[in-house]
Amino acid sequence: MSKKLGALDYHSTGRKGKIEVIATKPCQTAADLSLAYSPGVAEPCLAIQENPDDAYKYTAKGNLVAVVSNGTAVLGLGNLGALAGKPVMEGKGVLFKRFADIDVFDIELNTENPDEIIKACQLLEPTFGGINLEDIKAPECFYIEEELKKTMNIPVFHDDQHGTAIISSAALLNALQLTGKKIEDIRIVVNGAGASANSCAKLAIALGVKPNNMIMCDTKGVIYKGRVEGMNKYKELFAADTPFRTLEEAAKGADVLFGLSAKGAFTPEMIRSMAPNPIIFAMANPDPEITPEEAHAVRGDVIMATGRSDYPNQVNNVLGFPFIFRGALDVRATAINEEMKLAAVHALAKLAQEEVPDSVSKAYGNEKFSFGVNYIIPKPFDPRVLLHVAPAIAQAAMDTGVARQPIEDMAKYIEQLESSQGRSKEVMRMIINKAKSDPKKVVFPEGDNEKILRAAQILVEEGIAQPVLVGDKKKIQQKMDDLNLDLDVPIVDPTESEHTEEYAHELYRRRQRKGLTLTECQRIMRRKSRVQFSTMMVAQGHADTLLGGIDTHYPETIRPALQVLGKQAGLSSVHGLYMMVFKKEVYFLADTTVTIDPTAEELAETAILAAEKVAMLGIEPRIAMLSFSNFGSVDHPQTRKVKRAVELVKERAPSLIVEGEMQADTAVVPELLDGFTFSKLKTPANVLIFPDLNSGNICYKLLRRLGGAEAIGPILMGMNKPVHVLQRGDDVNDVVNMAAIAVVDVQNA
């Protein structure tokens, strides 16, 4: 139930749905408007009329794909209709954009007449560079794609068919290599006769499987020559001359089982009856035909793949369609042909055999991957997939004559693809996966807050952290029941805890000469301050870190933490850091929350601590110490303070890339930075140190509200033990992100 609520919340929070249209040209002035629309827009219109190919030059057509569906075969949900399928099509657009920077309009057509769908797509050809058919039931999908490929001059690709076929075929090639079997010798059984099964069988034959060794089954059993019941011309292509009549019979002695059917379709007895070193791809979603646990319980020589992310060897279509269209669009291909599909198969298979970089391991919680039975296909978040598949598609399109704009320099093209991969959300994903590699106990003082509870559910389900909720146990349990959360985490009630008296005495020991009596400490621990109680949990080692403040003002959380835990020895202060995540870049801003008017010593301390945090997150810090002066252009006490801070950083941490004093635009604009050839900063800074709290706080809030940045923080630096503060108004995602950062902070403490 909680997952359902989370999914609905994800789709409904803020701007509804998952996509928006953003202008790529300025439209701020009357002059801009005259160029964007009338009268200036007439010029590209006339140019396109004279030369239709100029549409790729003057419009977004060359990077625009239509995801077209009528909702008759939505995921594993069946015929939901065009409108109910829209969230899936929007999601497809998100994946196109995220993995290959391709823009998408989702087109839901309210018809089950295949000829109407064909006509609609044909009429849309002037708008789009390609058509991705999605969630259209078989056998109509075959007819629709065939007709569109005959009549349209842009790529048409039915992902439900070919996406699964391409990914599973790549995995099959690698599985065969590991088992020492030759593709021309194997016997393969495909269970399912829909769009995916049809394409998987065709592609396997194209790769070398002998047609006589291909057995296809549907709900009525084996598709054999002479069968009449439940047949159509597409099934007839795979009618085998065989005595087998049931899936059980066909599985005996088979080398490969492809499942594109339903949960439980493969039984342990079938697996036991297969040939040595069987290959089983149970690709039904969300539940496979047989689970890896069930298959491995029968025999130990099985190579398994499923469609699920929680098992090794996920057959995930996202490894295919974004990169296939990327390559096809970049050469203005007129089609996606069989040679291009095979090129994608071989590119993916080859990539899985290469050494996996640390960046991929970090993206999956530092799990190590190497070519073998549990790694026969690349991971979806492997950034190298774009760099392998898109060029392979482009090259195959050129080799087969369907490329209208061939790529002259393939090496340069690959460099361009690499430069298009922004950092943005990947940074947070890497942090989350690093946290998942070694989850820590995070205590939440506001344990009865709805956002905290929903975030705790996510933290547990994804294995990011071990939440500990502080508060009234009955109230928290009632809130969980109201929210339909199935959350099994420790709940600590200060009025009942066996450690309350221990915490009171320890607080008294620390604060007895600072205004507190033992009685007051006991009152604080039992009833007055859950933040103080939670801080003592961290101090006494009963929790690893604290995350609070969503219901309180910032000082109400940080002050007790400073009083109990204090700052690190040798530091003059505690400092605050914000991570600002933009579409392409990530910047770190400090101090934005703590020190109002820092000295040069404190500024230097802020810079060094910020560099340590940024490096901890796997990013090389490039520091700019900001001012209203550029390298001595203004002589003022404030600029001299920043200049002195730069000198101190260079003395104490000579290996850091740091410069200043410098103006903010100089720090981040390459053209301005290039004017100062003596600067140690050769590329724009990603860590910005502000001269005072006024400027830092104002800047990060403006970037968040007006600049479109996602603000993650504040990340406290310099505490004796990791403590982090939430902001009032933070949403569930903010809490999850900060919890992940808190866990990583503990890991690196």
CB-side neighbour CA atoms (13 Å) of 13: 10
Contact 351, 384 (CB under 8 A): yes
> Which DSSP letter does residue 568 get?
P
* DSSP alpha helix (H) spans, 621-717: 637-652, 664-668, 670-673, 693-705
Residues 6+ apart with CB under 8 A from 318: 95, 99, 380
The strand pairing partners of 711, in sequence order, are: 580
Helix (H), strand (E) at residue 66 = strand 64-69
Angle between helix 338-352 and 159-179 (nearest 10): 40
- Tokens representing residue 165 in the block: 């076929």
Which residue, among 718, 716, 721, has the nearest Cα to 601 in the 3D structure? 718
Q: How far apart are CA 668 and CA 600, in angstroms?
A: 22
**Which H, E and C letters describe 384-396, residue by residue?**
HHHHHHHHHHHHH
The yes-or-no answer on residue 143 being catalytic is no
Q: What is the residue whose two structure tokens read 């991705």?
A: 132
- Is position 37 annotated as part of the catalytic site? yes
Distance CA 236, CA 229 (A): 11
Say if residue 342 is exposed, middle or buried (CB neighbours under 10 Å; 0-12, 13-18, 19+): middle
Question: Beta strands of 129-282 (E only): which ranges?
Answer: 130-133, 156-158, 188-191, 214-218, 221-222, 256-259, 279-282
Q: What is the DSSP string of 267-315?
A: -HHHHHHSPSS-EEEE--SSS-SS-HHHHHHH-SS-EEEES-TTSSSB-
- Report d(CA 166, CA 161) in Å as an integer: 9
Annotated catalytic residue, options 56, 57, 61, 92: 92
Tokens 């139930």 locate to 1
For residue 186, the number of C-alpha atoms closer than 13 Å in the C-beta half-sphere is: 30
The percent of the chain in helix, strand and coil, each rounded to the nearest 5, is 45, 15, 40
Phi, psi of 745 (to 5 degrees): -60, -45
Give the span between the Cα atoms of 449 and 472, in whole angstroms. Answer: 11
Q: Which of 3, 10, 37, 150 is catalytic?
A: 37
Ramachandran sector of residue 113 (left: φ over 0; alpha: ψ -120 to 50; beta: rest): beta
Decide: helix, strand or coil at residue 178: helix
The dihedral formed by the CA atoms of 578, 579, 581 and 582, expressed in degrees to the nearest 10: 60
Q: Which residues are catalytic?
A: 37, 92
